[in-house]
Structure 1
């Protein structure tokens, strides 16, 4: 296998590792919000425990990238590909952290009945997961238009976040226990809003990888 063929083979391995990490992170978002909706502490603890797998994937991707830089003497365009992989892995790891934080809120609520059924928060989670899938597709396809479209999707998440915050503030009163739960739900919405921001970061990284130009999707 010649040097360039070996390099591209290594890039394929890096891409596969990154996509597997992305699928795992998407599942963690789903399970974290599901644990909240069902007051399922066992599922919440599984999400928290799974964070070690994400951290392990991050370490493997770091090592692969450093090895490619050290051994393959990549050209400028190759360096953008490697740098993008590192950037995406970092954002995926942070998304996983948000999923873990949501799962921890499930445990803090300790099975107490929710003040009102969750409606918009699961919708936010679905939109965030869709954005994550789209961001990773834009990476595998090197599709700048798909990456740029994440900005509009993120606007949708932001609008849902604003709606949740308005609803929760309207429900607050003098009941300390009720206000405590509502504050936790505000934090859940905040974590999902941040997931949307991290997926637009991935889109920005893809655009830079393909074009060499930086574009801000979080405006």
Structure 2
């Protein structure tokens, strides 16, 4: 293959990875909106649209494999191709998490009053978008900055999970301190079941948001390796 055509394919691969990142970002933003508002129709749209991300991933996987097999790239070109393969894998997993997140909204909208779900969700999405932008620009410093942000995000997720469990325990304590009659027992049981369901959805949502941020760090780590041959963020 002539050098010009080979370089064009490398450039197109990079552009296609960025386009996949934008597609995943759109799906993810819709998922956060669906969960924050309890919009079942939007949640279903996110879930049904996941096939588009999967098809994009498979096409890019084939391109990476072909470039490795036929062109046998070395040095910086090899890091570009292998890092791009890792990046699309993380983006595909963010899209999978988006399908989970879309369904966590309660019947009255929102996830749980103790969780700042929209804020956390938007911040995790911003980390992914910034990681893709760093990949596109080859910005090593941005990669390190994204990794540093993850520590704070993990702490916020920990506090959110603790707040959810604390509210559950306080509500259960309040119920036990009351003295309901027999007619109120069934209502208390139903309230407890609803509360447990809400808590379960909230804890799963926080867990998945933390994973989204982790995938952003993975994208940044592979980008740093691609740009500077530095594996300090890879773990």
Pairwise same-fold verdict (TM > 0.5): yes
Instruction: Give yes or no for contact 1:3–1:72 (8 Å, CA) kept in 2.
Output: no
- State the match for 2:176 in structure 1: none
* SS of structure 2 residue aligned to 1:158: helix
Residue 178 of structure 2 corresponds to residue 182 of structure 1: no
Q: Give how far 1:195 is off.
A: 0.4
Tell me which of the two structures has the higher relative contact order, counting C-alpha pairs closer than 8 angstroms and 6 or more residues apart. 2
User: Rg bigger for which structure?
Assistant: 2
User: Structure 2 stretches of 5 or more lacking a match?
Assistant: 173-191
Q: Deviations over 1:159-179 (max 9, x none)?
A: 221121121011114412111
- State the match for 2:137 in structure 1: 141
C-alpha distance in 2, partners of 1:76/1:10? 16
* SS of structure 2 residue aligned to 1:170: helix
Relative to structure 2, which stretch is displaced further, 53-62 or 24-33? 24-33
Relative to structure 2, which stretch is displaced further, 126-135 or 92-101? 126-135
Q: Deviations over 1:3-40 (max 9, x none)?
A: 22111100121112111111111112211111112111
RMSD: 1.9
- State the match for 1:128 in structure 2: 124
C-alpha distance in 1, partners of 2:211/2:25? 14
Q: Give how far 1:209 is off.
A: 0.9
Q: Give how far 1:80 is off.
A: 0.8
* SS of structure 2 residue aligned to 1:213: coil
- State the match for 1:162 in structure 2: 158
Instruction: Give yes or no for contact 1:127–1:153 (8 Å, CA) kept in 2.
Output: no
- State the match for 1:192 in structure 2: 209
Which ranges of 4 or more aligned residues in structure 1 deviate by more than 4 Å?
A: 112-119
Structure 1 residues 77 and 115: alpha-carbon distance in aligned structure 2, compared to 1, 3 A threshold = closer
Instruction: Give yes or no for contact 2:114–2:163 (8 Å, CA) kept in 1.
Output: no
C-alpha distance in 2, partners of 1:118/1:5? 56
Q: Give how far 1:76 is off.
A: 2.7
* SS of structure 1 residue aligned to 2:233: coil
C-alpha distance in 2, partners of 1:137/1:202? 10
C-alpha distance in 2, partners of 1:12/1:116? 44
Q: Give how far 1:187 is off.
A: 0.5
TM-score by length of 1: 0.90
- State the match for 1:55 in structure 2: 54
- State the match for 2:219 in structure 1: 202
Q: Give how far 1:192 is off.
A: 0.5
Structure 1 residues 3 and 125: alpha-carbon distance in aligned structure 2, compared to 1, 3 A threshold = same
Residue 28 of structure 2 corresponds to residue 11 of structure 1: no
User: Structure 1 stretches of 5 or more lacking a match?
Assistant: none
Instruction: Give yes or no for contact 1:68–1:74 (8 Å, CA) kept in 2.
Output: yes
Instruction: Give yes or no for contact 1:51–1:97 (8 Å, CA) kept in 2.
Output: yes
